[in-house]
């Protein structure tokens, strides 16, 4: 039998001797025992667990492993804190921190992009509303606005939505890469009010 097979048998023997909660709290580490320099090493997570196990359960472990002395010999059982546990935890925390930092960077970048989109939308909307006011002053109730740069073309759909919220009818014409126009129509409210 190898140590893994013996560990399975030993854990069954231990489970028969103690309550399940005690096993799950203190003795589960036997499942991961290994052989090093003719000693059985049971790795635990910290010094507190090591002290409790050595005080309360080491004799039970010895008794259980002795049942397999014909198939497996060892000098002693050593309860050892896993030297890598702190290192693994630190690496995990470091990795989580780096991931959180990257997520924050991405969120900040996305927020900046959204702020830029909002600014560009407001800028284009202001230009359009100035044109609408000028056209309405001449008695014309439709106009078109041609975006003339990448930023404006990227927000033209947002501008159309904002205009529709204000009661304008809009239609976007796409002329290819970074060439779009928005056709805008509105009713003459003054004429309608005068007719009533």
Rounded to two decimals, the pTM is 0.44
Going by C-alpha positions, the residue among 32, 43, 27 that lies closest to residue 83 is: 43
Which own/partner contact pairs does 33-39 have at CB distance under 8 Å and 24+ positions apart?
A: 33/3, 33/7, 34/3, 35/3, 35/74, 36/78, 38/73, 38/74, 38/75, 39/74, 39/75, 39/76, 39/77, 39/78
Per-residue pLDDT of the chain (196 residues; tens, 9 = 90+): 889 999 999 999 999 999 999 999 999 999 999 999 999 999 998 899 999 999 999 999 999 999 998 888 889 999 998 765 455 556 666 777 788 888 888 888 888 888 888 888 888 889 888 888 888 888 888 888 888 777 777 888 888 898 999 899 999 988 877 788 889 998 865 444 444 4
Domain ranges of the chain: 3-81, 119-195
| Cβ atoms of residues 1 and 68 within 8 Å | yes
Q: Which residues are CB-neighbours of 58 under 8 A, at least 6 positions away?
A: 77, 79
Which strand (E) or helix (H) includes residue 133? helix 83-137
Fold of 3-81: GMP Synthetase; Chain A, domain 3 (3.30.300)
Q: Residue for token digits 């580490």?
A: 29
Evaluate whether the domain defined by 119-195 bears CATH number 3.40.50: no
């Amino acid at each position: 039998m190898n140590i893994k097979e013996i560990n399975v048998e030993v854990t069954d023997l231990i489970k028969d001797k103690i309550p399940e909660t005690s096993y799950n709290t203190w003795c589960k580490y036997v499942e991961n025992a290994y052989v090093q320099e003719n000693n059985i090493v049971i790795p635990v997570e910290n010094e507190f667990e090591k002290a409790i196990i050595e005080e309360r359960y080491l004799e039970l472990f010895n008794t259980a492993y002795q049942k397999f002395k014909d198939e497996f010999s060892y000098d002693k059982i050593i309860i050892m804190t896993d030297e890598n546990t702190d290192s693994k935890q630190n690496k995990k925390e470091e990795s989580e921190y780096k991931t959180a930092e990257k997520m924050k960077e991405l969120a900040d970048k996305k927020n900046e992009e959204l702020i830029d989109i909002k600014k560009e939308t407001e800028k284009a909307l202001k230009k359009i509303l100035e044109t609408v006011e000028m056209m309405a002053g001449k008695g014309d109730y439709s106009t078109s606005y041609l975006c003339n740069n990448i930023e404006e073309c990227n927000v033209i759909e947002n501008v159309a939505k904002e205009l529709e919220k204000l009661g304008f009818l809009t239609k976007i014409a796409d002329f290819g890469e970074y060439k779009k126009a928005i056709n805008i129509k509105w009713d003459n409210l003054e004429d309608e009010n005068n007719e009533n």
